[in-house]
Amino acid sequence: MLAVTSTSAQQASLPGAATLFEASVLVPGDGGAPLTDAAFLVQGGLIRSVGRRGQVAVPSGATRVDLAGKTVMPALVNAHGHPGFQRGLVYGRENYTRDTYLDDLNRAAYFGVRVILSQGIDPGDVAFTIRRDQQAGRAGGARLLTAGRGIGAPNAGPGAAAFQGIAYELTTPEQGRAAVRELAARRVDMVKIWVDDRGGRAPRLPPPIYRAIIDEAHQRGLKANAHVFYHEDAVDLVAAGIDGFAHLVRDREMDDALVAAIVRRGVSVMPNLAGTERGTYAAVPPWFDEPGLMALMRDTVPRPLIDRIRASFAGRDAAAAKAARGRYAILQRSLAKLNKAGARIIMGPDTGLEDHLFGYAEQRELEEMVEAGMTPAQAIVAATSRTAEYLGLRDMGRLAPGTHADFLVLSGNPLADIRQTRRIEAVYFDGRPIDRARLRTRLTAVPE
């Protein structure tokens, strides 16, 4: 006789034990139709089967988790972050320690983010050690991938003072190839390049150099991802075989020819909207106090930092905010064109820049993608399975047999309102709920 015991959504399943989850709605994350009255069996951290309630075979002794009235969806995946530099109100290189880095990964996890690719601002060994410790089960939080040190022309790397001296700065194709060989020896997960002139403070990376970098990366089984600004650079990068863009083109709307080339060559594109959108306000925007988002902020961010972010919106120059709205509209139009054409849109909101906090930025990015014309279902695919696929994580980002049981339990349905991704009741990684109560205590502490 089948024995299925009831338990709450917050109780952990034992490693190797079977657990049956039953939810009102399951959003698979791969673009497939949602499943109502859903059930899925988890064992050994993996989803073993998915079906209707009462139709999934359950082994004897399995635990049952009743999620009646809840929606389940895959945890989020972020292909563009910069962990480790913000500690409370201070943003600087001195904060780049294991503890600060893990706080960022834990904050991301609380907001429902399972994986983060750190894009090009990882000096030394901290990120590589954390990645290794996570693989060995000695560290938690969102799973870390890293591009190590990014590559650019002299003075063309990341702009903040905290990042100076981290990027490779080079002037020849052979230097580019040598940088990739060094990164490959460290087993990076991606190669990051900065191509534009960074607002006039640096030379652009010449095409012969970035072509050599892309070629060397591909020879070593690595994807190359570009920070881009100018339309003309994006056109040539697509022709050169770039795998992804960390930003949309920002000097003009993407034309039809570029959009078609991106689609034809399968280039992945991160809208990266959230940071730019923040500059469009001269007063506190209504979304800042949206109950779901603010609840997550209060759970994970010290109050003085929330107050500073709120104050940053007030008193801005109205003319500057208007100009920013014009620039932001360019991004929205380009994203709408890419989406309509069927481009591979993925999640990557530049999380971790100053006051652009982990979890918070990803949740805002979802809402902004929908505001730009994507459906909630398309935004969820972009932020889960498609980003996971781009990162080579084919057993993550979906709720399907054989994939990791990484999922969010929500009190509402995000297919009806994307903001429901913030109504998180539980976060499961590998079939076990993370301890969000413990994280709340740690993450809201005011740094000394």
Q: What is the pLDDT of residue 161?
A: 86
- Please tell me the CATH superfamily of domain 76-390, with its number: Metal-dependent hydrolases (3.20.20.140)
CA distances from 369 to 179, 207, 282, 365 (A): 34, 31, 22, 6
Q: What DSSP character marks residue 18?
A: E
Task: Using alpha carbons, select from 363, 369, 362 the residue that is nearest to residue 339.
Answer: 369
List pLDDT tens digits, range 211-247: 999 999 999 999 999 999 999 999 999 999 999 999 9
Per-residue pLDDT of 307-346, as tens digits, reads 999 999 987 888 999 999 999 999 999 999 999 999 999 9
Phi, psi values for residue 442, rounded to 5°: -70, -45
| Confidence (pLDDT) at 15 | 56
Q: What are phi and psi of 6, to 5 degrees?
A: -85, 150
Q: Would you state the structure tokens that stand for residue 248, as one six-digit string?
A: 């949309």
pLDDT attached to residue 220: 98
What is the pLDDT at residue 5?
38
Q: Return the H-helix or E-strand segment holding 107.
A: helix 98-110
Residues 6+ apart with CB under 8 A from 263: 338, 341, 342, 343, 344
How far is C-alpha 393 from the chain's CA centre?
A: 13
Q: What share of the chain is helix, strand, coil (3-state, %, to 5)?
A: 40, 20, 40
**Within this chain, domains 5-74+398-443 and 76-390 share the same CATH topology:** no
Q: What gap in Å lies between CA 211 and CA 197, rounded to an integer?
A: 17
Residue 276 corresponds to which amino acid?
T
pLDDT at 88: 95
pLDDT of res. 416: 97
Per-residue pLDDT of the chain (448 residues; tens, 9 = 90+): 233 334 444 444 455 689 999 999 999 999 999 999 999 999 999 999 999 999 999 999 999 999 999 999 999 999 999 999 999 999 999 999 999 999 999 999 999 999 999 999 999 999 999 999 999 999 999 999 999 999 999 998 887 889 989 999 999 999 999 999 999 999 999 999 999 999 899 999 999 999 999 999 999 999 999 999 999 999 999 999 999 999 999 999 999 999 999 999 999 999 999 889 999 999 999 999 999 999 999 999 999 999 999 999 987 888 999 999 999 999 999 999 999 999 999 999 999 999 999 999 999 999 999 999 999 999 999 999 999 999 999 999 999 999 999 999 999 999 999 999 999 999 999 999 999 999 999 999 878 7
Nearest to 37 by CA among 62, 11, 57, 56: 56
Asked if 442 and 435 count as a contact pair (C-beta separation under 8 A), the reply is no
**pLDDT attached to residue 299:** 97
* Assigned fold of 5-74+398-443: Urease, subunit C; domain 1 (2.30.40)
pLDDT at 3: 34
Residue ranges covered by each domain of the chain? 5-74+398-443, 76-390
Name the packing angle between helices 231-240 and 207-219 (round to 10°). 40
Interatomic CA distance for residues 9 and 20, integer angstroms: 11
Q: What is the pLDDT of residue 14?
A: 55
Instruction: Report d(CA 422, CA 413) in Å as an integer.
Output: 10
pLDDT, mean over the chain? 94
Rounded to an integer, what distance in angstroms lies between the CA atom of residue 38 and that of residue 71?
Answer: 9
